[in-house]
Amino acid sequence: MTYVIEYDIAAVIIMAVLLFLYLFRRNFPGAQNKLFAWMLTDAFAATIMDILSVFLLKSPGIIPVAIHYFVNCVYLLTYNMAAVIYYRYVIELTHKDEIRMVNQLICIIPACLHVILIGTTCWTHWIIYFDADNQYCHGPLFFVLYLVSMTMLVLSMVEAYRKRTVIDRHQRLTVVFFSIVVAASVIIQMFFPRILIANFFVAIHLVLVYLSLQNPEHYIENETHVFNQRAFIEMLTGYFHNEKPFTVVAFSLGGFDYVNRVLGVQNGKIIINQVASFLRWNFPKSEIFHLQETEFALLLPYHDENLTKVARDIRHEFKRPMLIKDDIEVVMTPLICTLSYPDMTQSVDDVMEAIQYSFNEAKKSGNGQMLYADENSLVQKRRETDITHSIEHAIHNDGFLVYYQPIFSTKTKTFESVEALVRLVDDELGFISPEEFIPMAEREGTILAIGEIIFEKVCRFLSGKQADKFGIHYIEVNLSVVQCMQESLAQQMLGIMKKYNISPEQINFEITETANFDSDEILWQNMNTLIKSGSAFSMDDYGTGFSTASYLIDLPFKLIKIDKSILWSAMKDDRAMVVLKHTVDMIKELKLKIVVEGVEDQQMADVLTDMGCDYLQGYHFSKPLPEMAYVEFLQNHLNTAEG
């Protein structure tokens, strides 16, 4: 029998070109790519073996029959394995995160069947054999190979259909098209065994897969030519899955905003590209990822105990200035975060969160210095998660308490007002300072619920006691900026006051000075509505933010609370005392009332009274007290005053 091998030769050429392209391109070392490489190598080997077997058949009798068997068996094995690998490839494409046992078995069983049937055929003659004239013949079970391959192709199509939402239309079509074309070619081969066309179809299909499913842009960035965040996550997933140790060194380019602003976005891009090539050049042993605009990561495939050293190396490398255009040089200060597995992280989420957390912290500290995000930031991250849970729990289980810190009037020498301060005590974490949990609640949005709970409690407290009896004129209630940005805030607060029969004059809302008063229309509306109803506003933490004196003139504040830090520096430093004195004078001239907080001793109280401050608040008078203790405090004070 004479065979038509021209198709096979064409297939070999096509596959060789593909192999060449594949090997000389940067490939993401994920499972999908590895399977593609396997598929390509397997098909290439099958085609070579096919051609070889035809040459051997031309000269029967000369070549020992064992060699005939060997070449043909390798051909059949590689050719039929292609469908199994292809099925596994489709599974990888469609299942990604959860490859089930049954899918693994669907690969293993046919693979074993092929090995056993083909491997033993020289003794059993079930698949192929050579007759007395040394002619190549099909055995009685040859059809099983076709059957298995066909089944694998059909199953691939079924999987692609089942998981059609995971892959796009293009990918779906490629899978279906391949399965049909290869199935057709196998059938043609069955009826026209002389025409060796099947490998040619496989080759054409591999080209299609290469062009459509193996799109490297998925994982590699066009501009920087390094891997992207998707690649980072997938690679980490692989490491965790195989429990392989690794080290991550992530860093963010400090000062990049400045480059973008001053030198322009184009130059910003040049820098990013320079950083990418700098990393490729200096860290050839690690995989490099561009996570976000200014964030890069290196993944080292081993556990490095000396994380600080790795970070220091990077920092050292960055000390050299980068050249943009001909003469502009910039030096970037990386914020560095190092992590390793198995000791520090347990999941991909852990890694991503720890990286983001460290960079946010570093940016908050704002000094542009290098920062090592190490175990501490992970511990801190976990504490944040715990506190977030604790907040949720307290919201739903009435866990928040309100403490009251009396405010002393220097004129009447009585405690005319009081500040309501939230308290959270967790069963496991113990006391959590509002300074710690309020900013988190603001980020999570739970501050809205907390604010409402606190205000209800304050109103309930006010309604139960006869405020007048103790001479309480009003209660100071802290409002978060996030609360002030809710359109419904004023109505909500008025509603609660009404519910407890509280007159709005009894409430003074404190808003911290760092709030951006200029830009927020809703904050303005809320303030105006509440002021019209009779409530007043105090500017909290005066002296710590960026406010200008114009805020004092333009904004409807009745009371200014000078921050404790301003008082404390004044007590230590004469020049700071001058500032405090002038601040107090200015506020008084504007006819606004002044509260100074953080008054810890008699000397402070005297100084402030002499300056003419209206109200004083601090540990010297009383720490914040629980409801009952506060009422007792007032009672005692009344008694001594009367006595």
What is the enclosing helix (H) or strand (E) of 98? none
Q: Which is nearer to ligand C2E, 191 or 431 (CB)?
A: 431
Q: Which is nearer to Ca ion, 234 or 510 (CB)?
A: 510
| Residue among 189, 208, 230 nearest 76 (CA) | 189
Minimum distance from residue 476 beta carbon to ligand C2E (Å):
8
Q: Which is nearer to Ca ion, 94 or 478 (CB)?
A: 478
**Strand boundaries in 246-286, DSSP class E:** 246-254
Minimum distance from residue 604 beta carbon to ligand C2E (Å):
9
Q: Tokens at residue 467, please?
A: 């405020």
**Residue of minimal Cβ distance to ligand C2E:** 618
Report d(CA 378, CA 372) in Å as an integer: 11
Choose from ligand C2E, Ca ion, none: what does 92 bind? Cβ within 5-8 Å by kind.
none
234 binds Ca ion (CB under 5 A): no
- Binders of Ca ion among residues 532 to 591 (CB under 5 A) are 540-541, 563
Minimum distance from residue 440 beta carbon to Ca ion (Å):
18
Collect all residues with Cβ–Cβ distance below 8 Å to 640 and sequence separation of at least 6: none
List of residues contacting ligand C2E (CB under 6 A): 405, 421-422, 433-435, 438, 454, 478-480, 540-541, 564, 597-600, 617-619, 624
The region of 215-223, 310-318, 508-516, 602-610 touching Ca ion under the rule CB under 5 A is 508-516
Peptide bond into 504 cis (omega under 30): no
Minimum distance from residue 491 beta carbon to ligand C2E (Å):
19
What is the enclosing helix (H) or strand (E) of 537? strand 536-542
Q: Which is nearer to ligand C2E, 369 or 603 (CB)?
A: 603
510, 535, 580, 630: residue in contact with Ca ion (rule CB under 5 A): 510
Choose from ligand C2E, Ca ion, none: what does 543 bind? Cβ within 5-8 Å by kind.
none
Angle between helices 574-589 and 564-572 (to 10 degrees): 130
Choose from ligand C2E, Ca ion, none: what does 294 bind? Cβ within 5-8 Å by kind.
none
Do residues 205 and 173 touch, judged by C-beta distance below 8 A? no
Minimum distance from residue 336 beta carbon to ligand C2E (Å):
32
Report d(CA 318, CA 275) in Å as an integer: 9
Q: Which is nearer to ligand C2E, 195 or 592 (CB)?
A: 592
Q: Which is nearer to ligand C2E, 479 or 607 (CB)?
A: 479
Do residues 235 and 223 touch, judged by C-beta distance below 8 A? no
Choose from ligand C2E, Ca ion, none: what does 416 bind? Cβ within 5-8 Å by kind.
none
Choose from ligand C2E, Ca ion, none: what does 438 bind? Cβ within 5-8 Å by kind.
ligand C2E
Report d(CA 22, CA 16) in Å as an integer: 10
Choose from ligand C2E, Ca ion, none: what does 333 bind? Cβ within 5-8 Å by kind.
none
Minimum distance from residue 299 beta carbon to Ca ion (Å):
44
Q: Which is nearer to Ca ion, 92 or 563 (CB)?
A: 563
Minimum distance from residue 480 beta carbon to Ca ion (Å):
11
Minimum distance from residue 483 beta carbon to ligand C2E (Å):
7
Minimum distance from residue 424 beta carbon to ligand C2E (Å):
10
Report d(CA 262, CA 78) in Å as an integer: 60
Minimum distance from residue 557 beta carbon to ligand C2E (Å):
15
Collect all residues with Cβ–Cβ distance below 8 Å to 249 and sequence separation of at least 6: 286, 297, 298, 300, 307, 310, 311, 314, 336, 337, 338
Choose from ligand C2E, Ca ion, none: what does 480 bind? Cβ within 5-8 Å by kind.
ligand C2E
Q: Which is nearer to ligand C2E, 287 or 510 (CB)?
A: 510
Choose from ligand C2E, Ca ion, none: what does 434 bind? Cβ within 5-8 Å by kind.
ligand C2E
Q: Which is nearer to ligand C2E, 226 or 454 (CB)?
A: 454
Collect all residues with Cβ–Cβ distance below 8 Å to 221 and sequence separation of at least 6: 227, 228, 290
Q: Which is nearer to Ca ion, 57 or 567 (CB)?
A: 567
Report CA-CA distances (Å) from 260 to 257, 470, 572: 5, 60, 42
- How far out from the chain centre does Cα 380 lie? 16
Report d(CA 535, CA 483) in Å as an integer: 16
Residues present in the chain in total: 643
Read off the amino acid at residue 161.
Answer: Y
478 binds Ca ion (CB under 5 A): yes
Choose from ligand C2E, Ca ion, none: what does 242 bind? Cβ within 5-8 Å by kind.
none
513 binds Ca ion (CB under 5 A): no
Report d(CA 267, CA 334) in Å as an integer: 18
Bridge partners of 599, per DSSP, are: none
Minimum distance from residue 572 beta carbon to ligand C2E (Å):
15
Question: What 3-state class would DSSP assign to 237?
Answer: helix
Minimum distance from residue 485 beta carbon to Ca ion (Å):
18
Q: Which is nearer to ligand C2E, 296 or 630 (CB)?
A: 630
Q: Tokens at residue 428, please?
A: 């496991």
Q: Which is nearer to ligand C2E, 152 or 420 (CB)?
A: 420
Do residues 296 and 282 touch, judged by C-beta distance below 8 A? no
Do residues 455 and 495 touch, judged by C-beta distance below 8 A? no
Do residues 594 and 588 touch, judged by C-beta distance below 8 A? yes
Choose from Ca ion, ligand C2E, none: what does 228 bind? Cβ within 5-8 Å by kind.
none
Choose from Ca ion, ligand C2E, none: what does 598 bind? Cβ within 5-8 Å by kind.
ligand C2E
Bridge partners of 228, per DSSP, are: 290
Read off the amino acid at residue 359.
Answer: F
**Cβ of 405: how many Cβ atoms within 10 Å?**
21
- Binders of Ca ion among residues 353 to 392 (CB under 5 A) are none
The region of 126-134, 385-393, 504-512, 631-639 touching Ca ion under the rule CB under 5 A is 504-512
Choose from Ca ion, ligand C2E, none: what does 624 bind? Cβ within 5-8 Å by kind.
ligand C2E
Instruction: For residue 145, count CB atoms less than 10 angstroms from its CB and return exposed for 0-12, middle for 13-18, buried for 19 or more.
Output: buried
Beta-strand relationship, 128-130 and 136-138: antiparallel
Peptide bond into 406 cis (omega under 30): no
Minimum distance from residue 442 beta carbon to ligand C2E (Å):
8
Provide the binding-site residues for Ca ion, judged by CB under 5 A: 478, 510, 540-541, 563
